[in-house]
């Protein structure tokens, strides 16, 4: 498998074995290679995301950092009187789908001999990187907004990571980490393209669980786009390898109080506007200036999808509705379900739709307790 980094704007190539996470002049990088997904090469005895080892660009198995994560249930549930499939990615070791990306990214960091990583997060990505860095014996600094949920901070600290609180917005936190990473390895779920090599396994699992059928539509969160971009990459690899006949339509969901991608989509522009971030329960997608915003828009547009927004009332309603069905999810995950409910009101009854529970409610019990007391 011939693999390289490629600059998103210039197309310049860089060695995949260089300890870099961005190109010259702060250019975002992708990982380029000819994917040859082969059903015969799946490690079927291994019920983890690493069953797709042959299309994950880590050179040596000895460098894999894993807690046997992946292959989460794809459950059929009732929403708005319709049956849809929901991937239960809140069942990962640290409680969110971010473990997909962290497992692959930290495996590459180990392979490169990295001794310390930097990450910024509103919670879930920080927990994942801290967890996998702990197993790899790699020092880890996690930059978080000062108002990050206590449960998430406790989890990060229990993994032995250094927590650095930043007063200000989520974007100011990311900027502080970006500056710190100039002299360290940035294990970013946004900047580091190895993260998407983990989240793309979402698509592989979905199609395998559907007996190698592709869904018609996937409804996913859109903050920094780490799952959405990975899903697009994964479905595209399956399509170009001749495994599925089409890449599904991607429906992205944002919070009404922080929806720069929605505004760009609505105004039919690739220029992501600056928005004033309001207070939302869906903190995981409250990103007012996503670094890969144009890429996210491209994934949605290429598949004939759309971007939806949901308000706080819809998020709370979806949160309690899922709880009443036995699913304790975090509010950011409930926002996705709220968007799914909106989409279902206009969808074809025969459409095969997939969505996802992105994170466990145990991460946000403080917020959920407040809602229960209101």
Separation between Cα atoms, residue 343 and residue 132, nearest integer Å: 35
Q: How many domains does the chain have?
A: 2
> For residues 38-74, b (16+ Cβ closer than 10 Å) or e, as one string?
eeeebeeeeebbbbbeebbbbeeeebbbbeebbbbeb
pLDDT of residue 347: 85
Say what the pTM is.
0.96
Cα dihedral sign for 324, 330, 336, 342? Answer: positive
Residues 92 and 236 in one domain: yes
Which of 91, 228, 95 lies closest to 152, judged by CA? 95
Full residue range of the structural domain in which residue 286 is found: 74-96+195-373
Q: How confident is the model at residue 145 (pLDDT cuts 50, 70, 90)?
A: confident
pLDDT digits (tens, 9 = 90+) for 229-242: 999 999 999 999 99
Residue 27 domain-assigned (yes or no): no
pLDDT of residue 34: 79
Residue 345 domain-assigned (yes or no): yes
Q: How confident is the model at residue 1 (pLDDT cuts 50, 70, 90)?
A: low
pLDDT of residue 316: 98
- Percent of the chain surpassing pLDDT 90: 86
Separation between Cα atoms, residue 146 and residue 272, nearest integer Å: 26
Instruction: Determine the Cα angle at 229 with ends 228 and 233, to 5°.
Output: 115
Half-sphere exposure at residue 374, Cβ-oriented, CA atoms within 13 angstroms: 7
Residue 333 domain-assigned (yes or no): yes
Q: How confident is the model at residue 301 (pLDDT cuts 50, 70, 90)?
A: very high
Q: Would you state the structure tokens that stand for residue 372, as one six-digit string? A: 């229960």
Residues in the chain: 374
CB 131 within 8 A of CB 212: no
Residues 91 and 120 in one domain: no
pLDDT digits (tens, 9 = 90+) for 314-369: 999 999 999 999 999 999 999 999 999 999 998 877 899 999 999 999 989 989 99
What is the mean pLDDT of the segment spanning 184-199? 97
Q: Would you state the structure tokens that stand for residue 71, as one six-digit string? A: 């292959």
Residue 8 domain-assigned (yes or no): no
Which region holds residue 181: left if phi is over 0, alpha if psi is between -120 and 50, else beta?
alpha
Residues 85 and 217 in one domain: yes
Separation between Cα atoms, residue 201 and residue 43, nearest integer Å: 13
- Which residue, 172, 194, 216, sits at the end of a domain? 194
Residues 226 and 330 in one domain: yes
Whether 192 shows a pLDDT value over 90: the answer reads: yes
CATH assignment at residue 110: 3.40.50.1100
H or E stretch including 229? helix 226-240
Residues 103 and 132 in one domain: yes
Exposed/middle/buried for 120, CB within 10 Å: 0-12, 13-18, 19+? buried
Three-state SS sequence of 344-369? HCCCCCCCCEEEEECEEHHHHHHHHH
Residues 85 and 166 in one domain: no
Residues 107 and 169 in one domain: yes
Residue 183 domain-assigned (yes or no): yes
Residues 92 and 103 in one domain: no
pLDDT of residue 172: 86
- Which residue, 194, 210, 238, sits at the end of a domain? 194
pLDDT digits (tens, 9 = 90+) for 244-297: 999 999 999 999 999 999 999 999 999 999 887 888 999 899 999 999 999 999
Query: What integer best gives the mean pLDDT of the chain?
Result: 95
pLDDT digits (tens, 9 = 90+) for 81-102: 899 999 999 999 999 999 999 9
Residues 122 and 211 in one domain: no
Q: How confident is the model at residue 169 (pLDDT cuts 50, 70, 90)?
A: confident
DSSP conformational letter for 258: B
Which region holds residue 298: left if phi is over 0, alpha if psi is between -120 and 50, else beta?
alpha
- Which residue, 166, 194, 222, sits at the end of a domain? 194
Residues 184 and 236 in one domain: no
pLDDT of residue 161: 97
Whether 374 shows a pLDDT value over 90: the answer reads: no
Separation between Cα atoms, residue 28 and residue 309, nearest integer Å: 27
Cβ neighbours, 10 Å, residue 203: 28
Whether 2 shows a pLDDT value over 80: the answer reads: no
Residues 353 and 320 in one domain: yes
Residues 78 and 184 in one domain: no
């Amino acid at each position: 498998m011939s693999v390289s980094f490629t600059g998103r704007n210039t197309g310049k190539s860089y060695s995949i074995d260089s300890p870099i996470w961005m190109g010259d002049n702060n250019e975002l990088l992708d990982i380029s290679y000819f994917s040859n997904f082969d059903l015969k090469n799946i490690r079927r005895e291994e019920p983890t995301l690493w069953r797709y080892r042959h299309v994950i660009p880590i050179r040596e198995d000895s460098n894999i950092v894993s807690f046997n994560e992946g292959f989460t249930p794809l459950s059929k549930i009732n929403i708005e009187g319709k049956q849809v499939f929901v991937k239960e990615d809140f069942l990962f070791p640290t409680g969110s789908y971010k473990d997909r990306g962290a497992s692959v990214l930290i495996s590459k960091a180990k392979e490169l001999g990295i001794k310390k990583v930097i990450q910024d997060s509103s919670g879930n990505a920080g927990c994942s990187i801290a967890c996998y860095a702990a197993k790899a014996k790699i020092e880890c600094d996690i930059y978080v907004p000062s108002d990050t949920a206590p449960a998430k901070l406790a989890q990060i600290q229990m993994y032995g990571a250094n927590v650095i609180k930043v007063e200000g917005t989520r974007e100011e936190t990311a900027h502080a980490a970006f500056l710190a990473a100039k002299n360290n390895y940035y294990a970013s779920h946004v900047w580091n393209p190895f993260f998407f090599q983990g989240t793309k396994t979402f698509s592989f699992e979905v199609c395998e669980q559907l007996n190698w059928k592709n869904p018609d539509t996937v409804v996913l969160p859109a903050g920094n786009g780490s799952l959405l971009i990975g899903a697009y990459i994964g479905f595209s690899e399956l399509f170009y390898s001749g495994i599925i006949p089409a890449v599904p339509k991607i429906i992205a969901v944002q919070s009404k109080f922080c929806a720069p991608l929605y505004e760009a989509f609505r105004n039919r522009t690739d220029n992501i506007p600056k928005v004033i971030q309001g207070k939302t329960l869906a903190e995981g997608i409250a990103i007012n200036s996503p670094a890969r915003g144009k890429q996210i828009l491209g994934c949605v547009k290429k598949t004939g999808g759309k971007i939806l927004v949901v308000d706080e009332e819809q998020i709370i309603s979806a949160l309690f509705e899922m709880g009443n069905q036995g699913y304790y999810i975090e509010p950011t995950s409930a926002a996705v379900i709220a968007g799914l409910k909106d989409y279902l009101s206009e969808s074809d009854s025969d459409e095969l739709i997939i969505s996802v529970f992105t994170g466990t409610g145990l991460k946000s019990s403080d917020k959920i307790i407040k809602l229960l007391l209101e």
